[in-house]
Amino acid sequence: MKQRFFGKGLLLVLVSLLMVAALVGTSVADEKVIKIGTLFPLTGPVALAGQRCRAAVETAAEVINNAHPELQVPLAAQEGLLDGYKIVLIHADHQGKPDVAKSEAERLFDQEKVWAIVGSYNSAATKPASFVAELKKQIFMCGCSSSGALTERNFKYFFRMAPTDKTESIEFVHYIEWINETKNAGVKTVGLIYENTEFGKHAAEEGRMAAEAKGFKVVADVAFNPGATNLNSEVQTLKAANPDAVFGACLGGDYTLWVRTMKQMDWLPKVALNYCTGYQDPIIAGQLGEDANYFMGGTGYAPEFAELMPAVAAVEEIYKAKTDPSVPFDSDSIQEAVALFVLAQAIEKAGSLDPTTVAETLHANEWESPLSMGGKVAFAPGGQNIKAMSMLTQLQGGEYKRVFPVDLADTEPVIPMVPWSKR
């Protein structure tokens, strides 16, 4: 009897959930709306980053849909787009899997009838999802996926906001040249440590090319599987090669493990430069505490950049309310908000919802983007934002200090990194 009751109860819950979801999905069908799909890893190893990216797009949609005259961002003063159109977001989860990203992109376009997609964080997921968009001649706005290969496909409907691994690699090497010249840092060799994925592998290849092009010798090339529980042998390999500088491409928890393993082995290079998240995540930096200091990396945004990007703070308050635990924008999530702001401006300027017209408009113009470093966005053929900038920061006293390029710096870098024993 009990078993039968339990079975019926479970069935009722399942049916109710499905009905609620179906109703939510259809309630906006008849309104004047522009449906935009978001496609991020909401579950899986980088779920937290994906959920923050989704919150950033929600923030941008809220600003666009409602009048926010107090905000210094384009379209904030008006309500909606094209005389009354509102943006409605349809969220999807690709779980960090390329095949799921492809099928979810198809579902968003074919079933949900979204007009464009914003996503997808993991470069390996962005590739097949944007392939679907290109086939369907629909716009794909990519915020932060950093693999250079994404914008080397000559796609017409793909647009990426963030700088690529190539841009960051070149910047890393410029920085090393600068500290050698001005600080007598004596950096001659480079080591690479990276997760063995589309992102990590591509970043490492770009890092190697940039370093070797300027005469630096790459003495260690260490790949690891993401989500590793132990990086002892990887760090041991680095320690044995003892490179002067290390370029790291380690996401999330892998970054924490890498730093802690180096501490355990009492080894540090003179300079440690990091691509993308891990280093950029303020929560991770907080968890590492004092150990996070003196590491460096490319940073598109940090709260410490407030004086360079004064418009961000007010928008960030809306974003903070959408994240749990409440966090400020990071370099990745802010790019996803930029993606929707730029798309909205293009729709408004084109005065049309024809994807081809809007894509051509996106290519033909330069866009105001107070949430981007440098304040502008413009696209090259293939969809790369040629105005994308990132700055090198160094964590000092738990804060992201701007150290390079020199004209934007607010702090002198600490070189070499302070050894573990002297902290």
Partner 1 sequence: MKNRKRSVDFLWLGLLAFLALLPLIPGLLRSSFTQHVAIQILLYASMAQAWNILGGYCGQVSFGHSVFFGIGAYGAGMAVVKYGMIPWPGAFIGAVLAAAVAVVISYPCFKLKGHYFAIATFAIVEIFNRLFMVWYWVGGALGLDYSFTDQGWTHFVWYESKRGYYFGVLLLFLLVFGVVRWIERNRLGFYLRAVREGQETAESLGVNSAKVKLMAMALSAFLAALCGAFFAQYNYRVDPPMVMSLDMSMKFVLITILGGLGTFYGPLLGAALLIPLQEYSRAFLGGIGGGVDLIIFGLLIIIVVVYQPRGIMGIIDGIRVKAKRSKEGGE
Beta strand residue intervals within 225-321, DSSP E: 245-249, 271-274, 296-299
Query: Coil, strand, or helix at residue 138?
Result: coil
Q: Which among 34, 203, 199, 37 has a CA at the least distance from the CA of 107?
A: 37
Q: Which is nearer to partner 1, 110 or 412 (CB)?
A: 110
Q: Which is nearer to partner 1, 126 or 293 (CB)?
A: 126
Under the criterion CB under 8 A, does residue 9 sit at the interface with partner 1? no
- The answer to whether 348 touches 357, Cβ cutoff 8 Å, is no
Binding mask 19-58 for partner 1 (x = CB under 8 A): --xx--x------------x---xx---x--xx--x----
Binders in 175-204 for partner 1, by CB under 8 A:
196-198, 200-202
Q: Give dist(CA 401, CA 37) in Å, integer.
A: 35
Under the criterion CB under 8 A, does residue 88 sit at the interface with partner 1? no
Q: Which is nearer to partner 1, 205 or 244 (CB)?
A: 205
Nearest 5°: CA angle at 283, between 401 and 300?
45
Under the criterion CB under 8 A, does residue 14 sit at the interface with partner 1? yes
Smallest gap from Cβ 34 to partner 1, in A, equals 17
Under the criterion CB under 8 A, does residue 152 sit at the interface with partner 1? no
Q: Give dist(CA 297, CA 332) in Å, integer.
A: 13
Tell me the sheet residues that pair with 297: 274, 393
Q: Which is nearer to partner 1, 206 or 348 (CB)?
A: 206
- The answer to whether 165 touches 158, Cβ cutoff 8 Å, is no
Q: Which is nearer to partner 1, 107 or 349 (CB)?
A: 107
Q: Which is nearer to partner 1, 201 or 401 (CB)?
A: 201
Q: Which among 78, 37, 57 has a CA at the least distance from the CA of 341?
A: 57
Smallest gap from Cβ 205 to partner 1, in A, equals 9
Q: For partner 1, which residue of 35, 91, 188, 260 counts as binding (CB under 8 A)?
A: 91
**From residue 360, how far is each of 83, 285, 289 by CA, in Å?**
21, 41, 47
Binders in 92-111 for partner 1, by CB under 8 A:
92-93, 95, 97-100, 102-104, 106-107, 110-111
Under the criterion CB under 8 A, does residue 212 sit at the interface with partner 1? no
Under the criterion CB under 8 A, does residue 322 sit at the interface with partner 1? no
Element (H or E) spanning 333, and its range?
Answer: helix 331-350
Q: Which is nearer to partner 1, 93 or 171 (CB)?
A: 93
Neighbours of 180 (CB within 10 A): 16
With CB under 8 A, what is the number of residues at the site for partner 1?
45
**From residue 123, how far is each of 86, 96, 148, 297, 342 by CA, in Å?**
29, 9, 9, 19, 21
**From residue 266, how far is each of 233, 271, 288 by CA, in Å?**
14, 15, 16
Under the criterion CB under 8 A, does residue 149 sit at the interface with partner 1? yes
Smallest gap from Cβ 197 to partner 1, in A, equals 5
Q: Which among 105, 159, 154, 133 has a CA at the least distance from the CA of 343?
A: 159
Smallest gap from Cβ 344 to partner 1, in A, equals 21
Binders in 122-141 for partner 1, by CB under 8 A:
124, 127-128, 131, 135
**What is the contact surface with partner 1 in residues (CB under 8 A)?**
10, 14, 17-18, 21-22, 25, 38, 42-43, 47, 50-51, 54, 90-93, 95, 97-100, 102-104, 106-107, 110-111, 124, 127-128, 131, 135, 149, 153, 196-198, 200-202, 223, 225
